[in-house]
A = this chain, B = another copy of it.
């Protein structure tokens, strides 16, 4: 270790100790006979003072220090003189009188101030994200994710859930959005797809008997972006066997309670209210009502239930699934399936927080005969269904248990917890609205040799590079 302490952990009780600290130079004030710097790391800020009488060498070298230089300082913790205390800092009663100074690295002048709270354009912030992340507010959002994951892992492990990893390189199975595709070099002309969610894999895991599955999973959708969308996003994915809606509700409510307690120090009331889809539409004209006023709460949770199983596609003159085709209908509505599809309610549910959908799930169909009736209604014949989801349908023939689950959008949840408008604020290295990364320059042009190996060509366009 190059240091004995971090910059945030010393206080008045450490007076008299000799310490070695490492960090970045913040403000520097040269008072002629003495030089002050603020030394900063992610744990805090501490005042360092250089006196020619204490160490002429260190004092001399300190004159070269500029903002964001990286230094290592050895010195003694001293009480600050009366009248110079800073009550805003945990280290505000002390300073370190420097005996030794080593400049570990210099720095160019940063394109924006780290410690000032000035407005910087998002483009600039993302290009210099490594500097942006040195700012306390940005760092705090970032640490929030760590804390959230820790809370989720601890809670779900306690509840008996098993963390399972599912593949990122998988098969293209249309799930509503566009797939990101990966050409296979070893199988020319064929492509992997990045998963839009682990939906099919988690259902396979239920067939295999893992009755309580969870994963903090990266998901990928090639959509046009908005402030709450990213090409890749993170989902807390949960699935259980031998359960009913109530079990998913209880688990989710306890999970939210623990998260809000751990992260915000807030006790939220459970169970959450349930609003039928039709009631939400009639009363609020949306299926994502913001009930903060009504519930008189800063954080208003609601389950939206009894969604219709189907919606009518006017353009194609056919019924399609509202959620996904594996969603189970209400038992008592099954007899209505063919005659009155519009009246069939789905065993699906959304969790809405402050008008934002943060979770969504359903009880799934586990019996083949019912699944085939549903496919027929949405106009999928057996061959089509097999082409799209064949491996799951095969699996369901070998003793699929009753099961259901839910997935939470962790980026959206984090944005709410951090009180941020955009999910880009809580992702370490986000993409812009045209799905590019100003920091790395991704996506980028690649070498012809790479395309050659993959057996693909880029089509010539006015704006595209020629490859052949």
B455 & A399 in contact (Cβ 8 Å cutoff): no
In the complex, are the beta carbons of B428 and A244 less than 8 A apart?
A: no
B208 near A440: Cβ-Cβ < 8 Å: no
Decide if B437 touches A220 in the complex (CB within 8 Å).
Answer: no
Q: Are B178 and A185 in contact (CB under 8 A)?
A: yes
When distances are taken between beta carbons in the complex, the residues of chain B under 8 Å from A104 are 366, 401-402
Let me know if B220 and A189 touch, CB within 8 A.
Answer: no
**Residue among A183, A434, A441 with the highest chain B CB neighbour number at 10 A:** A183
8 A Cβ contacts from A224-261 to B:
224, 231-232, 234, 241-244, 247
Q: Is A12 an interface residue (CB 8 A)?
A: no
Q: Report the bound CA distance from A32 to B429 in whole Å.
A: 67
Indicate whether A42 reaches chain B with its CB closer than 8 angstroms: yes
Q: Which single member of B70, B181, B220 contacts A400 (CB below 8 Å)?
A: B70
Contacting pair A443 B42 (CB below 8 A)? no
Asked if A399 meets B105 with Cβ closer than 8 Å, knowing A191-B444, A242-B3, A459-B455, the reply is yes
Within 8 A of B (CB), among A417-442: 427-429, 431, 434-437, 439-442
B208–A134 CB distance below 8 A: yes
> A170 to B456, Cβ gap below 8 A?
no
Please pick, from B105, B171, B400, the residue contacting A366 in the complex, using a CB distance under 8 A.
B105
- Chain B residues near A183 (CB-CB < 8 A): 181, 183, 456, 458
State A219–B90 Cα separation when bound (angstroms).
41
Nearest B residue to A208 by beta-carbon distance?
Answer: B133
A323 CB, min distance to chain B CBs, angstroms: 21
Q: Which one of A51-59, A275-283, A339-347, A445-453 is at the B interface? A: A445-453
Q: Which of A202-238 contact B (CB under 8 A)?
A: 204-205, 207-211, 218, 220, 222, 224, 231-232, 234
Minimum CB distance partner of A240 in chain B:
B1
Interfacial chain B residues near A207, Cβ < 8 Å: 130
Chain A residues touching B, majority SS: loop
A399, B42: Cβ atoms closer than 8 Å:
no
Q: A166-B429, A446-B172 are in contact. Are A188 and B458 (CB under 8 A)?
A: yes
Asked, given contacts A169-B232, A172-B446, whether A129 binds B455 with beta carbons under 8 Å apart, the answer is: no
Which chain B residues lie closer than 8 Å to A163 at the CB level?
145-146, 149-150
Chain B CB within 8 A of A37 CB: no
Q: Give 14 A-B pairs besides A190-B444, A455-B464 with Cβ atoms closer than 8 angstroms.
A: A22-B241, A70-B399, A130-B395, A167-B437, A168-B168, A169-B180, A169-B231, A171-B443, A172-B444, A182-B194, A186-B434, A190-B446, A191-B445, A204-B439
A-B contact pairs, 28 of them (CB 8 A): A2-B242, A69-B399, A105-B367, A107-B399, A108-B398, A130-B205, A145-B164, A146-B164, A150-B157, A165-B234, A167-B442, A169-B431, A170-B437, A178-B185, A182-B194, A183-B183, A183-B456, A185-B222, A187-B436, A188-B461, A189-B465, A189-B467, A190-B446, A192-B443, A205-B428, A390-B441, A456-B458, A457-B457
